[in-house]
Amino acid sequence: MYKPDLWTILKVGDGAYKIAASWRGGYLSGDSWRLSSGIKKIIDLKGGYWEVTNNSGSVYLLHKKSVGMSWFTESEVKNCLKTGELVEVNIKDILEEFSNE
């Protein structure tokens, strides 16, 4: 299970919704990030978190107040996906679509 420091939902050019997750680095390590395989299911845990299962089977535990991207993540995501359209999406706008699967 992944529990990022910051996260955002992105809609990519092929219509998939993905999580851009980032972790703050420390003194000995830099910031890191990952892009999920694509959202399959979202569960509202009511305790301040979303539990998001992806097509690959990975699960992300997303704190509801940690929405956003670090500068590093934003630049890396844009470099990675510069050939496709990239749109930031509010999780509440897609919740119904992915909560009934």
Q: Each residue's pLDDT tens digit in the chain (101 positions)?
A: 999 999 999 998 888 999 999 998 877 778 888 999 999 999 999 889 999 999 999 999 999 999 998 888 888 777 776 666 778 899 999 999 998 65
pTM of the model: 0.87
Residue 44 falls within a domain, yes or no? yes
- 66: containing domain: 6-99
DSSP β-bridge partners for residue 43: 51
Distance CA(28)–CA(99), nearest Å, equals 39
Residue 1 falls within a domain, yes or no? no
Residue 50 falls within a domain, yes or no? yes
Residue 61 falls within a domain, yes or no? yes
Residue 47 falls within a domain, yes or no? yes
Residue 52 falls within a domain, yes or no? yes
Residue 60 falls within a domain, yes or no? yes
At 80, is the secondary structure helix, strand, or coil? Answer: helix
Instruction: Count the domains in the chain.
Output: 1
Residue 80 falls within a domain, yes or no? yes
| Residues found in the chain | 101
Cβ contact 60:36 at 8 Å: yes
